């Protein structure tokens, strides 16, 4: 088929322009983040532009709060956009605006007039329909339980960068403006992508079936369609159920991970591996973002859907947490405790706080564990884990060991871990026992648990007075 139009607005531009076009009608979820990420990666990989467009035509479901969440989530994950609304919600940048569909009504009118003028659109039942080209016939539709008008036409051929060649029949007129005067998704999507000079449309596979409509619209406007790349969907993990992941699923929201103090770079790394990998014998999974940008390309994207695995995300998060520089860890920990009920107490003494956080850093698997992991450092009202107690008290003669230890603590040198360790070892040697015979019960008495930093560090940081008080209290109660 020969196209009439010669003025292809971006034909001469070789620059890649991709967009992420969310609608602010709900929480920002993993699937959206991954779609945004693949677009962002492609833009950064090719040196192109990443454009943020807000599809806020659904006035009933839109909210400023959700709009804000889009900006915040993208920024938090480190996906900066070259064009679109500013992150603070004030103004926008780029030459192809406005970037919010709610402000583009006149553009849609203009493009509608073009279709009307060319005879490719008509009014029926108060709505405006896009006219397909070809011979018409009536047929009964089982699904919709009614007679519908079909059009004989060659199928649309989509040359997808990820799927290959996909053929699909598009054989019905469809609504482009509702009877309430608002344009529908397919129409605004295509018009925006034309006017924003989008070169590659990278989106979820759920849009693959819509693409034939979009191609016909491009043709209707006399514009060569951009390159399409339909990425696999993220499905629910087996515990979540069946089907594609939606914002209602537990563990599906970016906000949830943010509130749990996951590290954004870990989330981005995990997401990048859902449907993509460096390939060709490259087994690496933990990849710096710069490395991913360097390696990412569309043909390497998988074609099959992937199930979300929260455990693997948590593992990735731990890897990033472990190698976080001390100052960044402390900053994160500070931010975390500012939101906790115990925050004021915990943050009261900077040096003490710092010391404990650095003890906890190599031991925890996620920042969210920080509060319970360090609770006994900040309060004398810590809980004694009943199960641990049962286990510890069942072995050997823990009460005797504790009494022996309590007797020598007042004379101990608490200045360093080494001096504490030496003193306990000396006691053990005198009694012909091991360090472990004192360690377990001392830990239980002083922290109420069996998990934590070395007992020597705990003693030193808590200080002699508190250690003695705790040991005596435990002895009295046990």
Partner RNA sequence: GCCCUCAUCGUCUAGCGGCUAGGACAGUAGAUUCUCAUUCUAUAAACCGGGGUUCGAUUCCCCGUGAGGGCACCA
According to CB under 7 A, which residues from 105 to 164 bind RNA? 124-127, 141-144, 163-164
193 makes contact with RNA (CB under 7 A) = no
255 makes contact with RNA (CB under 7 A) = no
387 makes contact with RNA (CB under 7 A) = no
Interface with RNA in residues 47-66 (CB under 7 A)? 55, 57-58, 61
CB within 8 Å of 302: residues ≥ 6 apart: 232, 275, 276, 277
Residue keyed to tokens 């020597």: 456
Largest CA distance in the chain: 102
Q: From 3-11, 91-99, 216-224, 435-443, give the range in contact with RNA by CB under 7 A.
A: 435-443
DSSP line for 161-178: TTTEEEEE---S-EEEE-
Smallest distance, RNA to C-beta of residue 11, A: 27
CB within 8 Å of 317: residues ≥ 6 apart: 262, 263, 266, 267, 270, 365, 366
The region, left, alpha or beta by phi > 0 then psi within -120 to 50, assigned to residue 361 is: alpha
Smallest distance, RNA to C-beta of residue 353, A: 20
For residues 305 and 244, give the distance between their C-alpha atoms in angstroms, rounded to a whole number.
9
- CA dist list (Å): 203 to 32, 129, 211, 232, 270: 9, 25, 11, 9, 18
457 makes contact with RNA (CB under 7 A) = yes
Chain Cα centroid distance, residue 420: 44
Smallest distance, RNA to C-beta of residue 415, A: 16
Nearer CB in complex with RNA: 48/357: 357
Smallest distance, RNA to C-beta of residue 231, A: 10
Chain Cα centroid distance, residue 282: 24
* Binder of RNA out of 131, 312, 334, 464 (CB under 7 A): 312
Nearer CB in complex with RNA: 48/120: 120
Interface with RNA in residues 1-30 (CB under 7 A)? 23, 25
Smallest distance, RNA to C-beta of residue 12, A: 30
103 makes contact with RNA (CB under 7 A) = no
247 makes contact with RNA (CB under 7 A) = no
For residues 109 and 188, give the distance between their C-alpha atoms in angstroms, rounded to a whole number.
10
For residues 20 and 201, give the distance between their C-alpha atoms in angstroms, rounded to a whole number.
9
Nearer CB in complex with RNA: 47/299: 299
- CA dist list (Å): 85 to 38, 57, 161, 365: 20, 16, 29, 36
Nearer CB in complex with RNA: 272/332: 272
- CA dist list (Å): 12 to 16, 92, 293, 431: 12, 26, 25, 86
- Annotated active-site residue 247? The verdict is yes
206 makes contact with RNA (CB under 7 A) = yes
180 makes contact with RNA (CB under 7 A) = yes
Helix (H) or strand (E) holding 193: helix 185-195
169 makes contact with RNA (CB under 7 A) = yes
* Binder of RNA out of 43, 233, 254, 445 (CB under 7 A): 233
For residues 397 and 438, give the distance between their C-alpha atoms in angstroms, rounded to a whole number.
10
Structure tokens at 157: 């051929």
Smallest distance, RNA to C-beta of residue 344, A: 27
210 makes contact with RNA (CB under 7 A) = yes
Nearer CB in complex with RNA: 130/336: 130
Smallest distance, RNA to C-beta of residue 2, A: 25
307 makes contact with RNA (CB under 7 A) = yes
The one catalytic residue in 150, 244, 247, 312 is: 247
* Binder of RNA out of 3, 15, 179, 340 (CB under 7 A): 179
Interface with RNA in residues 346-375 (CB under 7 A)? 362-365
Phi/psi at 177 (5° precision):
-130, 125
Active site residues: 247
């Amino acid at each position: 088929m020969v196209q009439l139009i010669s003025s292809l607005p971006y034909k001469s531009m070789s620059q890649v322009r991709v967009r992420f076009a969310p609608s602010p009608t709900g929480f920002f979820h993993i699937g959206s983040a991954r779609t945004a990420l693949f677009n962002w990666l492609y833009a950064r990989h090719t040196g192109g532009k990443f454009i943020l467009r807000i599809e806020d035509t659904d006035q009933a479901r839109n909210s400023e709060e959700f709009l804000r969440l889009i900006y915040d989530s993208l920024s938090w994950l480190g996906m900066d956009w070259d064009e679109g609304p500013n992150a603070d919600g004030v103004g926008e940048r780029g030459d192809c605006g406005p970037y919010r569909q709610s402000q583009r009504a006149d553009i849609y009118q203009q493009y509608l007039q073009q279709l009307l003028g060319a005879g490719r659109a008509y009014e029926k039942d108060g709505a405006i329909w896009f006219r397909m080209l070809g011979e018409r016939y009536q047929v009964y539709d089982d699904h919709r339980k009614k007679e519908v008008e079909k059009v004989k036409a060659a199928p649309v051929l989509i040359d997808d960068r990820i799927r290959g060649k996909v053929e699909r029949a598009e054989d019905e007129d469809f609504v482009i403006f509702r009877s309430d005067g608002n344009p529908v998704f397919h129409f605004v999507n295509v018009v925006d992508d034309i006017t924003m000079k989008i070169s590659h449309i990278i989106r979820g596979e759920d849009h693959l079936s819509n693409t034939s409509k979009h191609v016909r619209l491009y043709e209707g406007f006399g514009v060569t369609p951009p390159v399409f790349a339909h990425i696999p969907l993220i499905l629910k993990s087996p515990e979540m159920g069946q089907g594609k992941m939606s914002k209602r699923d537990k563990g599906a929201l970016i906000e949830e991970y943010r509130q749990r103090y996951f590290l954004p770079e870990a989330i981005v790394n995990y997401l990048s591996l859902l449907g993509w990998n460096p390939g060709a014998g490259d087994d690496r999974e933990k990849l710096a973002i710069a490395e991913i940008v360097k390696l990412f390309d569309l043909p390497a994207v998988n074609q099959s859907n992937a199930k979300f695995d929260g455990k693997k995300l948590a593992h990735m998060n731990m890897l990033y947490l472990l190698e976080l520089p001390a100052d960044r860890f402390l900053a994160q920990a500070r931010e975390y405790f500012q939101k906790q009920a115990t925050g004021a107490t915990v943050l009261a003494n900077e040096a003490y706080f710092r010391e404990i956080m650095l003890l906890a850093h190599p031991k925890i698997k996620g920042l969210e564990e920080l509060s319970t992991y360090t609770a006994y450092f900040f309060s004398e009202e810590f809980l004694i884990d009943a199960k641990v107690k049962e286990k510890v008290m069942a072995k050997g003669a823990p009460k005797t060991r504790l009494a022996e230890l309590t007797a020598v603590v007042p004379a101990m040198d608490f200045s360093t871990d080494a001096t504490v360790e030496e003193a306990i070892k000396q006691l053990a040697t005198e009694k012909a026992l091991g360090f472990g015979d004192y360690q377990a019960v001392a830990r239980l008495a002083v922290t109420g648990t069996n998990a934590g930093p070395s007992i020597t560090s705990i003693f030193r940081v808590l200080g002699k007075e508190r250690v003695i008080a705790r040991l005596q209290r435990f002895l009295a109660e046990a």
